[in-house]
A and B are shown apart, each in its own frame.
Chain A
Amino acid sequence: MAALIHRPEYAGYDFGPEHPFSPARLEMLLDLFRSLGHEVAPIAAPAATREDILSVHDEAYVAMVEALDQGKPNLEADRFGLGTPDNPIFPGMDLATRWLVGGILHGARMLMTGKERRVLQLGGGLHHAQKDQAAGFCLYNDLAVAIQAFVAHGWRVAYLDIDLHHGDGVQNLFYENDRVLTLSIHESGHYLYPGTGHIQDLGSGSARGLSVNIPLEPFTEAGDYLEAFESVVPRALSWFSPDVLVVQAGADAHFADPLGDLALTTQAFQTLYQRIFALADAHAHGRVLLTLGGGYEAQVVARVWTILYLTFMGLPLPEHLPAVWMDHWRHLLGPGTGRELHDPASAMPDLPGREARTRRNRDVVNRLLDSVRTYWI
């Protein structure tokens, strides 16, 4: 009842050796699943078509991606967010992204036909891509294309974004759509990219109350994070009662991530994943479609997304990572990486300012709940 989607072409979504969004993470991950003794035969989905992409993106933007893909220089590129350090132009980027979009779209179709109830797309999660612009490592918004397909099928869709960064692209694309609830829990945009995702952004028109943001203080730890999640997400899903839950499962909220300032541990991610599947069972007919997302420290994403995969499959977690696998990937993992699957219990010391952060995080959640109360009835 659980399907994994991946194909070797996903490795083509590659902004170059200096870029953090490295496709080597996926290969390393699949190799780890296999090294742990699991038979992994992912489904290879067809690429999304141009029409699929146009279900959420402007034609002018798609045409620009295609032109730059063919090596045609264009001074207008930066107006579309292309050719920046975050989104360098690379040959084949149109098709490389359509492979990723095709994967999640295939997963969405398996859910709509009732063939599967849980689907994990091993890649993608391009939540920053806007209607007319690339942003934050994201070219085409794979999540939005899948959500749009569900909406066209007549389903009500809940979107949950646990990436470190605000899921601004998905939120913006459905900001006025009352068939889609978007929930994003992230490090506050006061400092971090993309600078959005405030509690006051609640959706508009008939979709007021259907954009929900939980921005957390930099250096927020697992306790606060999970408390905020529990205060908001179950309530929202229970009220909205979606037909399916779509999840962007970025792993960059981990304390060792080089781009962020949240302080989740592997243990916190395990709890989070268990809760997500339980909530999908309780409120979304058990239907859940997940992608990966951000996560820029190899040894972290290997461990965190392995926990995701094994929880997703209902398989037991090992205590240790296979030595053979570690030796093979040492160049990415770094010399100091230990063999334990989980972070050591002593990973986080007593951090200064913890009480003040907890108070501020609770204030934010209370303010959010106060402002959505009138809509969630």
Chain B
Amino acid sequence: MNTPTLVWSALRRRKARTLFTFLSVVVAFVLFSVLAAVRQGMLGQLTFSVAERLETNNKISQGSPLPVSYYDKIVTVPGVTAVTYLNGFQGYFKDPRDRLQVLVFSPTFLQVYREATLPPAQMHAWLTDRQGVIVGPALVRRMGWKVGETIPIQSKVPQKDGSTTWYFHLDGIYHADLPAAYQSFFVAHYRYFNEGVANPRLQNIVFQYIERITDPRDATAIASAIDGLFKNSSPQTLTQSEAAETISYIRQFGDVSAMVIYVGIAVFFSLLLIISNTLAQSVQERTAEFAILRGLGFERGWLARLVLQESLLLIVSGAVLGLALGYEVTRLLYPSVGNILQTFALTWGAAGLGILLSIVFALLAGLVPVQRITRLRVAEALRKS
């Protein structure tokens, strides 16, 4: 006979009620996991934004093209150490369901995105291979590719010879300590695409320039200098830091996400209030038992700790299961939302916060019952029972 036996026996007293309360906690924390993943999806990219990186877009509309000829001017701006540019097209490998985005960069890609690393031999192979591609490990696993393999990508973008199949050589697999969304890039050479694409309107254009700078404190001045170069050109450019760019992106759908999160929080706390009420009810039903325990010599503090342990066991174990299920749910949802919220995932930090929240809530939920116990008049409670 020990305290855990008493705690467990109290929870088994009304099994159906305990089960439903437990399930409510589980559901609340599944919801918490999804909300945390949405938040991470919105703000997570900021975490990986690199202060030494600037992005130059078409000033009129992000995503509209810029001439590739701007490169030669941008690279001369003082403080800029490397520049790469980006274009791309949609395609698929064998099965139309295995869609992927072919990103075509200048060979300076690895100088700008230093967080992506690969063995020197693979890097050399890619830099010297016009049809070369480096791919993220998650995509390699999903497609079952091997280094050295030739990969045919079907696309709606025809080549000059009329073919819509683009062949790439898998020269390397990059490594980056970044979330899942960053493990599936397919990085090919701009030159291969630009020289091969049939449509002249797709030639010699880029959708974005990305610059590496020496000192983030100079970011504003450098951005102004870059935009100043094209003040009298068409199109004009808008250069901003990667973080600022991410924030602009988030603002596009920020209000909707905020609403979803606020509604979710309201539902989450409503569920937890119901749980708190159930706990209070459970304790009230056992008033006579608590009076007996007091009569046997158990102190108020001991009984208060007993109730808090019940509350902790019920809520924290429910939270742990809810977070585990939530993790699986977010993994299942990722293919549907990952294209918008690239960092959509339940992070360890959020899971830790969930556990902490469950502990705080268990203690709060136990407050009312504990107060009832500490105010219990033993003689009166025994007489009423």
Are chains A and B native binding partners rather than an unrelated pairing?
no
Which B residues contact A (CB, under 8 angstroms)? none
Which A residues contact B (CB, under 8 angstroms)? none
